[in-house]
């Protein structure tokens, strides 16, 4: 009993230390964002002071940072939606049909996730320019969708393959079409996996920087690009501004993970058990 209790205490202490190690950078980022210029560079750093939210007002009202915030929300949401629609259909096709070369084709799709995206930056840029979509949300949505669909297919194929084939065959014998079977049986059974995959894709799209930087200039600029744009002015790094933008950029992801964490955990656990 004593040995079991000591193990539990060690685990709790280890988890607390791990949580402090993980969350302290976020805590210090927020502290820096509400510090005034007078206490910004105090040594040792002050953890107790009168906070100032003037920089938040300045970035949101004067610099209109909410425009980039809105761009990131729209781009991430619609690209995630398109990825889930096309990705789940593709994953179902690979799991339900055994056509000639399906393994090779699946490998080809996965290869697109194995090389750095920067290698395709130039052709994607010229393709977007040729279509006249540069500096538009549509361009960023198309780029994000194209790169994340293989990721969705890879994950969702495992969920679909674990659904008993007898269910699909029974629905077919009852006269259900393949589309009806997919919509009324496959999707409800795989809903936890779809939600978990959607959360992961949304986070990846929200944090993406390189393609948003190259494919946008001003109108469709996303939040990560805006952070880099505001990082340095007047020949020196603006730590207060950078901290405020960092907090504003991280905040939506924290809210999403806070309210949807049970779906993410449930979906990943189901995949782990079934896999």
Regarding whether 35 and 89 lie in a shared domain, the answer is no
Residue 205 contacts residue 79 (beta carbons within 8 Å): yes
Which residues, in sequence order, are CB contacts of 140 under 8 Å at separation 6+? 71, 75, 79, 211, 212, 215, 216, 220, 222
Render pLDDT for 161-174 as a digit per residue (tens, 0 to 9).
877 777 777 877 77
251 part of a folded domain? yes
Please tell me the pTM assigned to this model: 0.83
Residue linked to tokens 């390189």: 210
Return the exposure string of 104-131: e unless at least 16 CB atoms fall within 10 Å of the residue's CB, then b.
Answer: eebeebeeeeeeeeeebbeebbeebeee
The whole-number pLDDT of residue 136 equals 93
1 falls within a domain? no
Let me know the angle formed at the C-alpha of 199 by 193 and 202, rounded to the nearest 5 degrees: 135
For residues 152 and 244, state if they share a domain.
yes
What is the pLDDT at residue 232? 57
Regarding whether 102 and 175 lie in a shared domain, the answer is yes
Domain that holds residue 43: 23-52
pLDDT at 65: 80
Same-domain status, 218 and 265: yes
Q: Are residues 229 and 256 in the same domain?
A: yes
Question: Facing residues of 236 across strands?
Answer: 233
Number of domains the chain contains: 2
Same domain, 48 and 143: no
pLDDT computed for residue 128 by the predictor: 92
In a domain, 82, yes or no: yes
Residues 85 and 168 in one domain: yes
Task: Clarify whether residues 27 and 111 are in a common domain.
Answer: no
CATH of the domain at 211: 1.10.3720.10
Same domain assignment for residues 34 and 151: no
Q: What is the structure's pLDDT at 273?
A: 46
DSSP secondary structure string for all residues of the chain: -HHHHHHHHHHHHHHHHHHHHHHHHHHHHHHHHT--TTTTT-SSPPSSS----HHHHIIIIIS-THHHHHHHHHHHHHHHHHHHHHHHHHHHHHHH---TTHHHHHHHHHHTTTS-GGGGHHHHHHHHHHTT-TTSHHHHHHHHHHHHHHHHHHHHHHHHHTS-HHHHHHHHHTT--HHHHIIIIIHHHTHHHHHHHHHHHHHHHHH--HHHHHH-SSTT--HHHHHHHHSEETTEE-HHHHHHHHHHHHHHHHHHHHHHHHHHHHHHHHHHHH-
- For the chain, which residues score pLDDT lower than 50? 234, 273-275
pLDDT at 274: 47
Is residue 149 located within the same domain as residue 261?
yes
From residue 171, alpha-carbon distances to 51, 67, 97, 183, 266 in Å are 62, 48, 16, 12, 27
**Structure tokens of 177?**
């079409």
Encode pLDDT of 78-118 as tens digits: 999 999 999 999 888 888 777 777 888 888 888 887 888 88
CA distances from 169 to 172, 180, 189, 237 (A): 5, 13, 15, 63
**Which of 33, 52, 71 corresponds to the end of one domain?**
52
pLDDT of residue 205: 93
Q: Is there a domain that residue 175 lies in?
A: yes
């Amino acid at each position: 009993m004593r040995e079991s209790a000591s193990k539990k205490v060690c685990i709790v202490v280890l988890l607390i230390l791990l949580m402090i190690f993980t969350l302290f950078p976020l805590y210090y980022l927020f502290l820096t964002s509400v510090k005034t210029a007078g206490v910004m560079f105090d040594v040792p750093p002050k953890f107790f002071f009168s906070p100032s939210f003037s920089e938040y007002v300045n970035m949101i009202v004067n610099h209109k940072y909410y425009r980039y915030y809105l761009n990131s929300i729209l781009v991430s949401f619609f690209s995630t939606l398109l990825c889930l629609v096309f990705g789940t259909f593709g994953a179902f096709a690979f799991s339900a049909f055994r056509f000639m070369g399906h393994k090779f084709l699946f490998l080809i799709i996965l290869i697109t996730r194995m090389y750095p995206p920067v290698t395709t930056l130039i052709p994607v840029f010229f393709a977007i320019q040729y279509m006249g979509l540069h500096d538009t949300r549509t361009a960023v949505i198309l780029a994000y969708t194209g790169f994340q669909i293989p990721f969705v297919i890879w994950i969702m194929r495992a969920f679909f393959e674990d659904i008993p084939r007898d269910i699909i065959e029974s629905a077919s014998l009852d006269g259900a079409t393949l589309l009806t079977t997919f919509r009324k049986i496959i999707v409800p059974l795989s809903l936890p996996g779809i939600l978990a995959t959607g959360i992961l894709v949304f986070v990846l799209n929200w944090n993406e920087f390189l393609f948003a930087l190259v494919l946008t200039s001003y109108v469709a600029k996303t939040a990560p690009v805006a952070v880099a744009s505001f990082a340095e002015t007047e020949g020196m790094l603006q730590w207060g501004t950078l901290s405020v933008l960092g907090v504003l950029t991280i905040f939506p992801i924290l809210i999403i993970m806070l309210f949807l964490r049970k779906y993410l955990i449930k979906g990943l656990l189901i995949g782990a058990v079934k896999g």
